[in-house]
Amino acid sequence: MEDYFKNEHLLIGNLGHLAVAITFGASLLALISFIFASKDGDQKITWFKTGRWAFWIHGVAVVAIVTCLFLIIKNHFFEYQYAFRHSSLDLPKEYMISCFWEGQEGSFLLWLFWQMVLGVFILFKVNKWTSPVMVFIALSQVVLSSMLLGVDLDWFHFGSSPFELLREHDTSWIDPNLPVYTMRGMETSDYLKLIKDGNGLNPLLQNYWMVIHPPTLFLGFASTIVPFAFAMAALWKRNYKEWIVPALPWTLFSAAILGTGVIMGAMWAYESLSFGGFWAWDPVENASLVPWLTLVAGLHVMLIAKSTGHSLKEAFILITITFLLILYSTFLTRSGILQNTSVHAFTDDGLSNQLFVFMMLFVIINIVLLVRSWKEIPSLKTEQQLWSREFWMFIGSLVLVLSAMQIIFTTSLPVWNKIVKMTGLENVFNANVAPPKIDVYNRIQLPIAVLIGLLTAITQFFKYKNSDIKKVGRSLLAYFLISIIITIGCVFLFKTYNPEYVTMLFTSVFAVVGNIGYITQVLKGKFAISGASVGHIGFGLMLIGILVSTTGKRVLTSNNFTMPGEKMDANLAENMLLSKDKAVQIGEYIATYRGDSNIGVNHYLAVEYEKVDTATNKIVEHFILHPNAQANPKMGLVANPDTRHYITEDIYTHITSFSGLDPQENKEDWANADTIDISAGKQITLANNNELTLKSIKPLSEKGRNFELHFILKNLKGEEQITMACTIENNRLLMSSAIDKDKLTKFDLIDIKPSKEKGKKDLDIKLVTSFKNNLKDYIILKAIRFPYVNLLWAGTVIMVIGFFIAFFKRRRDARRVGLGN
Amino acid sequence: MKTNRIILLVFMATALGIILFLFNKNSEYVSFKEAAISGNDVHIVGVLNKTKPMEYDPAKPNHFSFYLTDTLQETRQVIYDNPKPPDFDRSDKIVVSGKMEGAYFHADKILLKCPSKYNTDKEKKTE
């Protein structure tokens, strides 16, 4: 039967299927081997060696899957549904890799790939934790690779294979007019001739951020498995304290990468989405932020546990829940449950049941192990002292958890609605809760940020166990005063006067100043141990950047223009129409839309900005932005903003609509045609308030068959003379027309006849006047100024550097006791 | 009781307070009728009423008006202070959020559910 179809490239797909099978089988073998290798006995070493071999084979197979899929996309083998759905012939090479994360299969593959790489790293240096940790990593690999199996049983869907052929795929979603649809009826054997091109990659993914953001974020997701595996191994092996030392560098690595991934997502949104900002509390964004918050909280609690022995249980809970939240987030965004609330949630591809089962599998293993060990986990009888570092660090972690809870609860409202409806408790609970406005998030997260800033500033000055509060107070006093002075300066610089914002500004500044102080005063500038403080400085800067750019954001295209008789809130009028070549005031700029350069489906709409110094009348600033609008046949308008970056502010512009979108509308060059009658000496007011006078009708020939009409057109600029020639041949008027100097008004002569009024020898002229259609080429633009958004990006870089300094320090610590990688 | 216990308790109470506050702050998916009664910020799910006029002139980009029929078949005018969303005409389901202001619904956000965001779709063809 396979030979029936012509021109298919089945070899590569079969290799891919084989690689998937090996990936799954080898990870299963690795799982079993590592379980036995974790138990004491004679066979321990043999099992470990088997497990390691299995994992390496697994790794090679994962690379083989990636290679096969890439070759299929690169060679445009559209007989494979993945290539058909996610790529097209005109897709630039650099975006081919982005096809991997448009589809579910590709995303799981990416995740699988990163976890495999991390597993290989762990296997490099063997110690007593290696086998039990690898058990959980191998288990996760079994789970993830099963998502790619694509085995359909009657009662369950086991994954979805990226190597599925188009003709094997459930084709109901494909265009019914496409011949492939009839493939099951085997009506055509050479169907590939009929497939001219693939469906193409979502234009939002055709962006350089989308090449680097998903792999980073997925490495962040994948890396949370390692601290999780350490915690689970510790519970399983009943070795409750030692795991913290080898797990700490991994936790720091994970926090650094996941944090980078989240902020890269924000940058992508800022650079290429048109919602006007870097964060919209969208479920997909929230789903990646929440695990980061619990991970950072877990990191701090791990440090408490390591240094004092307190809070070990909390460390277990937070580190394991981080990984479970990653699974939950994947479930939320991939199961289709968020479709009513998020613009970019995925639709259900039939994998949500499997995802749910796997999530529950890990939840149950986690709960079973925690419950079994709960009473055995050592907890100190002594209480934490009030003036100790661990107590305030613990409070800080709780605040982070609180923040995470608010976000995840709110994001999960659709799940809540569904549960209420499923359990039939609609009479008791409200099943129609909709997500709140962004404002609600901001109002709750603001006091949380205030607390976090404050705790970040002061906590390091306390010592573990107990400290002299007077001494702490003395060393903090100077930084407190410096921060107040800086805050006052910032209030005037940033023009932030709202007391809530000023409070947050102060604690964020205090966090930065306090930690700079800690590095210079306490650590004496020792770089190698300054990781925490550097990270905190970066975090403080991020908070300042978020606060100032969000609260100081100003829509430049907002105007106070209200239509007569129309009630309109001036604040809501945020869009401005720019007709081609007509200058408009936007903020302190004079903006002119200069035209559309069209490359394929992409329209690059040039908007020229000029800033004129009113005193000297000189142009002090000049730039052209090219916000991009893609008139996508499948998605309508996809607008990519263009931003002018300065050190202290960004001018962000994006198109909300443009003339190229509506081919039916405004196609005519000339609009508002009007017929007027005029005779010599008469004056008429035209529809555009210009005045037209027919000065004279001059016969050009003896027979009176040729005339010249002399008009005067009067407008605001002055007068101009318009001459129109007209000829009558065989009693028929030949069409003639004239256009004014500015090419704004057109006159078409349609009739000329002797005056009906008796006793007059005049001629009556009938003209059609029409006006240049300004709306032929226009854009509707939104321009926003974001001040100091660079503080957020710079703060992120500094924070990540801090995480890595700490990572290297903790890795040295772990290696010193023979537990490091 | 030790001070740190008190601080922890205060903290927990605040957390609980915030969560309760939250549940009162959420919007709801309702009908026009309920929206008119409550006057709150709400979400309304509906379909475009194609028999009634849609008003949009690019020269006035901050005004777009259309008629939406909610799930209880009640039709009301919706006013949106932004340009008409480009893929508006092809959406089969529309979620508007905002509040009732007299006879019309003032939307600050429109979420369109197109038959399919990206894939070619059967439904679109049959329209």
Give the H/E segment covering residue A706. Answer: strand A706-715
Domain holding A613, by residue range, is 572-661+777-785
In Å, how far is B113's CA from the nearest CA of chain A? 8
Domain assignment present for residue A477? The answer is: yes
Interface test with A, best of B57, B118, B121, B122 (most A CBs within 10 A): B118
Q: Which residue has the higher pLDDT, B111 or A15?
A: A15
Residues A325, A382 within the same domain: yes
CB pairs under 8 A between A and B: 142
Pairing of β A718-729 and β A706-715: antiparallel
What residue ranges do the domains of chain B occupy? 27-126
Cβ–Cβ contact B13 with A under 8 A: no
Nearest to B25 among A436, A666, A778 (CB): A436
Instruction: Find the Cα–Cα–Cα–Cα dihedral B115, B119, B120, B124, rounded to 10°.
Output: 0
Interface test with A, best of B18, B23, B26, B42 (most A CBs within 10 A): B26
For position A94, what pLDDT does the model report? 83
Nearest to A634 among B97, B113, B120 (CB): B120
Residues A81, A156 within the same domain: yes
Q: Which of A457-461, A603-607, A718-722, A761-765 has the highest mean pLDDT?
A: A457-461
Domain assignment present for residue A428? The answer is: no
Domain assignment present for residue A712? The answer is: yes
Task: At A673, list the tokens.
Answer: 């045609």
Q: What pTM does this model have?
A: 0.84
The CA distance from A53 to A60, in Å, is 11
Query: Per DSSP, what are the bridge partners of residue A732?
Result: A729
For position A635, what pLDDT does the model report? 59
- Name chain A contacts of B58, Cβ cutoff 8 Å: 577, 657, 659, 665-666, 775, 778, 780
Q: For the complex shown, is ipTM > 0.95?
A: no
For position B116, what pLDDT does the model report? 46
Write the CB contacts of A522 (distance below 8 Å, at least 6 apart in sequence): A460, A461, A475
Cβ–Cβ contact B51 with A under 8 A: no
Residues A650, A532 within the same domain: no
Instruction: Find the Cα–Cα–Cα–Cα dihedral A101, A104, A105, A109, rounded to 10°.
Output: 50
Write down which residue in A144, A168, A201 finishes a domain: A201
The CA distance from A48 to A120, in Å, is 14
Cβ–Cβ contact B50 with A under 8 A: no
Residues A174, A243 within the same domain: no
| Residue A518 DSSP one-character state | I
Question: Is B58 close to A440, i.e. CB distance below 8 A?
Answer: no
Domain assignment present for residue A396? The answer is: no
- Name chain B contacts of A440, Cβ cutoff 8 Å: 22, 25-26
pLDDT one-digit tens code per residue, A337-354: 776 666 555 555 667 788
Nearest to B2 among A383, A409, A440 (CB): A383
Question: Is B3 close to A386, i.e. CB distance below 8 A?
Answer: yes
Q: Kindly state the average pLDDT of the residues A765-777.
A: 74
pLDDT one-digit tens code per residue, A581-607: 878 888 888 888 888 887 767 788 899
Nearest to A175 among B113, B114, B125 (CB): B125
Whether the predicted pLDDT of A293 surpasses 80: yes
The CA distance from A216 to A261, in Å, is 5
Nearest to A444 among B18, B95, B120 (CB): B18
Whether the predicted pLDDT of B63 surpasses 90: no
> What band does A366 get if pLDDT is binned at 50, 70 and 90?
very high
Domain assignment present for residue A393? The answer is: no
Write down which residue in A149, A171, A201 finishes a domain: A201
pLDDT one-digit tens code per residue, A302-335: 999 999 999 999 999 999 999 999 999 888 887 7
Residues A160, A59 within the same domain: yes
Q: Is A628 helix (H, G, I), strand (E, B) or coil?
A: strand
Listed by number, the residues of chain B in 71-100 with a beta carbon closer than 8 Å to a beta carbon of chain A are: 81-87, 90, 95, 97
Question: Is A575 close to B61, i.e. CB distance below 8 A?
Answer: yes
Residues A253, A338 within the same domain: yes
> What band does A213 get if pLDDT is binned at 50, 70 and 90?
very high
> What band does B53 get if pLDDT is binned at 50, 70 and 90?
confident
Residues A53, A167 within the same domain: yes
Q: Is A491 helix (H, G, I), strand (E, B) or coil?
A: helix
For position A215, what pLDDT does the model report? 94
- Name chain B contacts of A384, Cβ cutoff 8 Å: 4
Whether the predicted pLDDT of A693 surpasses 80: yes
Whether the predicted pLDDT of A670 surpasses 80: no
Which residue's entry shows tokens 């680097």?
Answer: A212
For position A553, what pLDDT does the model report? 87
CATH fold of the domain at B27-126: OB fold (Dihydrolipoamide Acetyltransferase, E2P) (2.40.50)
- Report the percentage of chain A scoring pLDDT > 90: 44
Task: At A781, list the tokens.
Answer: 């633009």
In single-letter form, the type of residue at position A297 comes to: A
- Name chain A contacts of B120, Cβ cutoff 8 Å: 173-175, 178, 199, 634
- Name chain B contacts of A430, Cβ cutoff 8 Å: 28
The CA distance from A786 to A654, in Å, is 13
- Name chain B contacts of A347, Cβ cutoff 8 Å: 117
Q: What are the b/e assignments for A195-216, b being 16+ CB within 10 Å?
A: eeebbbbbbbbbbebbbebbbb
Contact A773, A497 (CB under 8 A): no
Cβ–Cβ contact B115 with A under 8 A: no
Domain assignment present for residue A592? The answer is: yes
pLDDT one-digit tens code per residue, A249-290: 999 999 999 999 999 999 988 988 777 789 988 888 999 999
Give the count of domains, chain A: 5
Q: A567: burial class by Cβ within 10 Å (0-12, 13-18, 19+)?
A: exposed
Q: Is A732 helix (H, G, I), strand (E, B) or coil?
A: strand
- Name chain A contacts of B62, Cβ cutoff 8 Å: 568, 572-575
Residues A191, A47 within the same domain: yes
Domain assignment present for residue A404? The answer is: no
| Residue A351, CA atoms < 13 Å, CB-side half-sphere | 29
Indicate if the alpha-carbon torsion angle B84, B86, B91, B95 is positive or negative: negative
Q: Is A634 helix (H, G, I), strand (E, B) or coil?
A: coil
Write the CB contacts of A25 (distance below 8 Å, at least 6 apart in sequence): none
Question: Is A434 close to B26, i.e. CB distance below 8 A?
Answer: yes
Domain assignment present for residue A488? The answer is: yes
Whether the predicted pLDDT of A690 surpasses 70: yes
Q: Which residue has the higher pLDDT, B33 or A561?
A: B33
The CA distance from B94 to B113, in Å, is 6
Question: Is A634 close to B118, i.e. CB distance below 8 A?
Answer: yes
In Å, how far is B81's CA from the nearest CA of chain A? 6
Whether the predicted pLDDT of B62 surpasses 90: no
- Name chain B contacts of A178, Cβ cutoff 8 Å: 120
Sheet with strand A706-715: strands edge to edge:
A683-685, A691-699, A706-715, A718-729, A732-733
CB atoms within 10 A of CB A594: 15
For position A636, what pLDDT does the model report? 62
Search chain B and give the residue with CA nearest A579: B59
Residues A603, A693 within the same domain: no
In single-letter form, the type of residue at position B126 comes to: T
Cα distances from A754 to residues A681, A751, A762, A763, in angstroms, run: 15, 10, 6, 4
Task: At A768, list the tokens.
Answer: 């059609």
The CA distance from A100 to A740, in Å, is 57
- Name chain B contacts of A657, Cβ cutoff 8 Å: 58, 61, 83-84, 86
In Å, how far is A674's CA from the nearest CA of chain B? 20
Q: Kindly state the average pLDDT of the residues A439-443.
A: 84
